Amino acid sequence: MIGRLNHIGVATPSIDESVKMYRDILGATKFTEKWSMPEQGVWVCFVDLPNTQIELIEPYGEDSPIHGFLAKNPKGGQHHVCYEVDDIIAARDDMRAKGCTILGTGEPRIGAHGVPVIFVHPKDMGGILVELMQKPEGH
């Protein structure tokens, strides 16, 4: 069963430009540093909001999985929604038993928060790419 909404993933052609928008137009004040996750093919930066985070993702390298998304959405756009789960392996097995497609090998990868994550195909999730993430300590 899903828990808290952890973050909303937003693809952008430029994290720097997106940070300006969140800061100067929307008035957000808390941002992480931008860092690269070469294995995932993304630059990442989190915008901290009172009840959740926005995960800004920008392509890193030519094989980035979000090049295709940005080709269809050149200005960027809402890319995925991430929910916390108590047990990522149990959640994956449950989703599979219910007929859902887990992206990639299905083995959890370490996500931007340093905990294991999986992605569930949008065709099974009402058109939304869903990230499930092992609940971090303290959440």
**Spacing of C-alpha 2 from chain mean position:** 15
**Spacing of C-alpha 89 from chain mean position:** 18
DSSP structure class, residue 46:
E
Between residues 55 and 58, which has the closer beta carbon with respect to Co ion?
A: 55
Q: Which of 9, 95, 81, 68 is nearest to 44 (CA)?
A: 9
Question: Which residues inside 77-106 make contact with Co ion, applying CB under 5 A?
Answer: 82
Contact window for Co ion (CB under 5 A) among 8-16, 32-40, 63-71, 122-130: 8-16
Check residue 9 for interaction with Co ion (CB under 5 A): yes
* Closest distance to Co ion from the beta carbon of 99 (Å): 23
* Closest distance to Co ion from the beta carbon of 21 (Å): 19
Across 1-139, where does the E strand assignment appear?
Answer: 5-11, 30-31, 35-37, 42-48, 53-59, 77-85, 109-110, 116-120, 130-134
Between residues 96 and 109, which has the closer beta carbon with respect to Co ion?
A: 109
Between residues 21 and 37, which has the closer beta carbon with respect to Co ion?
A: 37
Taking the CA atoms of residue 37, residue 38, residue 39 and residue 43 in that order, the dihedral angle to the nearest 10 degrees is 40
* Closest distance to Co ion from the beta carbon of 44 (Å): 8
| Residue with smallest beta-carbon separation from Co ion | 9
- Please say if 62 is a catalytic residue: no
Check residue 55 for interaction with Co ion (CB under 5 A): yes
What is the C-alpha separation between 3 and 57, in angstroms, rounded? 23
The catalytically annotated residue of 55, 58, 84, 131 is: 131
Interface ranges with Co ion (CB under 5 A): 9, 55, 82, 131
Active site residues: 131
